[in-house]
Amino acid sequence: MTIPQEIEQDLLIVSPKPIQDLQLIRAKSGVHVYKCLYDGIPAVVKYFEHESDRREILNYRILARHGIPTIKTLAKAAATLVMEDITTSDDWRLGIPEDFTDTSVAESLARWYFTFHENGKAAPELDTLFFEFDSITEENLHKMIQKLPEAGELFRFVLARYAKLRTLLFKPSFTLTYNDFYWSNFVVRKDKTAAMMFDYNLMGKGYRVSDFTNVCYSISKEAKAAFESEYGRLYHEKHGHSRVQEEKAEAEINNVAAPLYALYVALTLHENLPEWARHEKNEAINGNLLAKARHLL
């Protein structure tokens, strides 16, 4: 059976609406993306061959359940997700590289992230979701020593204090985290009054500051200031105080755990070191990450 036939069969279980004109956009690692007409409406279809990738369908259900804005979904089946085609929308457009320097877009993204985090912190599904730092295990640290012996002192130091690290990793309060920020993963209202992320395959639980770091690493200095100011304003408006102390504590943990997680992914799940991991590799070798680990542990 072909992938289009698999899609048709999967969708028939949840709806009799016809799907037509399937045109492949891309296929990578078992995830197939098509443009199509769904019940006559322009749409985008994602089909997930592997069970592990189908968590994105569940993630869309979680977001809808907790009032978090997403691209409109037209159908959710066991392995198939049908969404509106943003390229045909009168109100929305896909993100573009120039959005990284646009303060209006940054403020709109801050409003989406605030809702995402605020509503996500009470989601009962949190305990079942992926936590990036669960991959920082003793076994994986030993693997990293083998892959990057030049940073052996760092990994051995963390191993010697592993119990304390694990305690610290679970000390901050958890909420939903997006974990995959990039301009190609969000949409913006054409008047820039709203924005929202899509592609939730890497969504999980974690710290707010982890998302802040991912966003602010990519955008301009002015956009970063706008993002942080708007998020802080919304938080203070709702709670009557800031998160300065909580963010400081989360950042100290994240500044050690996030590079370790990135190194785990880069060194053990990739044949060649990805370009995005070169900074973490250098920090591990030159002693900067070890200094942060000594301060934390």
Q: Which residues is 206 bridged to in the sheet?
A: 175
pLDDT at 1: 86
Tokens of 143: 């693997």
If phi over 0 gives left and psi between -120 and 50 gives alpha, with beta otherwise, what is residue 79? Answer: alpha
In 3D, which of 297, 287, 198 has the Cα closest to residue 257?
297
Tokens of 184: 């190609």
Tokens of 2: 């072909």
- The Cα–Cα gap between 5 and 186 comes to 29
- The Cα–Cα gap between 269 and 119 comes to 32
Domains in the chain, start-ordered, CATH in brackets?
A: 3-89 (3.30.200.20), 99-296 (3.90.1200.10)
User: Do 190 and 179 touch, CB atoms closer than 8 A?
Assistant: no
pLDDT at 118: 98
Query: 85-110 b/e with 16+ CB inside 10 Å = b?
Result: bbeebeebeebeeebbebbebbbbbb
pLDDT tens track of the chain, all 297 residues?
899 999 999 999 999 999 999 999 999 999 999 999 999 999 999 999 999 999 999 999 999 999 999 999 999 999 999 999 999 999 999 999 999 999 999 999 999 999 999 999 999 999 999 999 999 999 999 999 999 999 999 999 999 999 999 999 999 999 999 999 999 999 999 999 999 999 999 999 999 999 999 999 999 999 999 999 999 999 999 999 999 999 999 999 999 999 999 999 999 989 888 999 999 999 999 999 999 999 999
Instruction: Please state whether the predicted TM-score (pTM) of the whole model is above 0.75.
Output: yes
pLDDT at 25: 96
Helix (H) or strand (E) holding 141: helix 138-147
Place of tokens 């119990």: 163
- The Cα–Cα gap between 103 and 109 comes to 10
DSSP state of 21: E
- The Cα–Cα gap between 212 and 126 comes to 19
* Residue 32 amino acid letter: H
- The Cα–Cα gap between 25 and 22 comes to 9
In 3D, which of 195, 185, 187 has the Cα closest to residue 113?
195
pLDDT at 271: 87
Tokens of 273: 């070191």
* Residue 3 amino acid letter: I
Half-sphere exposure of 16 (CA within 13 A, CB side): 0
Place of tokens 């605030």: 114
